[in-house]
Amino acid sequence: MSPVAKLEVMNSLLLTGGRVVDPANQFDSVADVLLVKGKVSAVGRNLAAPAGVAKFDARGMIVAPGLIDLHVHLREPGQTAKETIATGTAAAARGGFTSIVCMPNTSPAIDNAGTVALIHERAKAEGAVNVFVTGAISKEIAGEELAPIGGLKKAGVIAITDDGHCVQNNDLMRRACEYAKMFDLPVMDHCQDYSLVTDGVMHEGYWNLALGLRGWPSAGEEMIVARNILLAELTGAKIHCQHLSAAGSVARIREAKKRGVPISGEACPHHFTLTDAAVAGSEKFWAQDGKALAHLSSAGPLPAWPAYDTNFKMNPPLRSARDREAILEGLADGTIEILCSDHAPHCDYEKEVEFDYAPFGITGLETELALSLMQLVHTKRLSLADMIAKFTVNPARLLNLKKGTLTPGADADVTVFDPDLEWIFEREESASKSKNSPFFGWKLKGRAAATIVAGKNVLVEHPQPAAV
């Protein structure tokens, strides 16, 4: 084969016989997908592979637009002991994600064009998947002075957020929204009222009292969700509420969306799978709130963990069974349009301390597809197409990304997954540099079989361990 001919088949692949689910085109049917030179070339029956194009047998699998996770902490620059762009994107590839959006609370923070350029450069050199960058709302994420939002947009950020922190000054937030609207950037917000939450470490309810831990009340989230609804209405800016955990937040967003307010929300699998009872240890959890996870109860010995396990500490915290149900309902009725992980790696030495002192956050890129399938699709709360939309076309629409669809001409980003494959998430096998997941030892159902970025299967380089 001449070098020219060889070039032509690069980034090309024919996926045969899978169930193709492309919510952007309301397409759900068994079909082939032909990817040529990094773009989607055709979707249809009995497509022929052009000479030299490799085939991938997708029979029995789901073929979806490449999944997008719009809430990931890559920790680079500055915190590379926790994660790097190379390890974080390898975890994304494992999890079936072809595009991820990184948060700006790095060190230095992404509040300047130079840091945006640095991440773009490193992601291009070392990233297994596409990396999109968000910029900070405020300088150094300190909540005091606005970051140069126009300059950040010019440097290529796709949204602004102070995630990890929350702008408390409502006037500053209003001005951020006005600038963001001018530059056509969505504002993403980590909703936490500092005066209500103070130094709370877990949900304020029954279990924090029983365990003697300081409470983080639901009202601390709802207060800022309500503020954001008012500011979205006032300014017309698109405000997206990150990692929703409380029933009241869902109710407020549902009501505001009905009135046409440009507000949206996202949910993470830990908030719609676990509850605050998990902080009291596995026995307490399985005896009460864990009963709702029917798909696990027939699967042999249930995962075990001690009370005060810091892998169950995240921000916002795990909440009550009622809140978990409200998040599931919000996902089912379309109030919450986006699924994501809030992948937040931390080193063992940071997490292996008393609950009070451990940092908030867990890893999530490798488990979110399975947990979403288990809690939403296998339980019949959501159709497969609706779940896929929350990982593809919906985040793409919010962030104005030309991604999330298999329309011919689109980038050849495709996720192939087996929704029924059972596997155990093992600590030793995680691709993330950090091992702070509450789901190690869990029997999960559903896993990526190919993660195709620009026509190239990157799961080949970051392969999955064997199924059970």
Name the minimum Å distance from CB 317 to Zn ion. 12
Residue 413: active-site member: no
Name the minimum Å distance from CB 436 to Zn ion. 15
189 sits near Zn ion (criterion: CB under 5 A)? no
Name the minimum Å distance from CB 161 to Zn ion. 8
418 sits near Zn ion (criterion: CB under 5 A)? no
Segment contacting Zn ion (CB under 5 A): 120-128, 155-163, 259-267, 291-299?
A: 155-163
Is 244 or 384 the residue whose CB approaches Zn ion more closely? 244
203 sits near Zn ion (criterion: CB under 5 A)? no
Say how far apart CA 217 and CA 265 lie, in whole Å. Answer: 19
162 sits near Zn ion (criterion: CB under 5 A)? no
# residues contacting Zn ion (CB under 5 A):
2
Among 22, 76, 111, 163, binds Zn ion (CB under 5 A): 163
Q: Tell me the per-residue interface mask from 109 to 148 with Zn ion, x by CB under 5 A, - otherwise.
A: ----------------------------------------
Is 31 or 72 the residue whose CB approaches Zn ion more closely? 72
Closest residue to Zn ion, based on beta-carbon distance: 190
Contact between 424 and 441 under an 8 Å Cβ cutoff? The reply is: yes
Is 15 or 102 the residue whose CB approaches Zn ion more closely? 102
Among 75, 153, 190, 378, binds Zn ion (CB under 5 A): 190
CB atoms within 10 A of CB 33: 27
Name the minimum Å distance from CB 311 to Zn ion. 17
Name the minimum Å distance from CB 432 to Zn ion. 18
Name the minimum Å distance from CB 346 to Zn ion. 14
Segment contacting Zn ion (CB under 5 A): 185-193, 270-278, 418-426, 440-448?
A: 185-193
Segment contacting Zn ion (CB under 5 A): 118-126, 189-197, 330-338, 391-399?
A: 189-197
Q: Which is the catalytic residue, given 22, 111, 162, 342? A: 342
Binding stretches for Zn ion (CB under 5 A): 163, 190
Catalytic residue list? 342
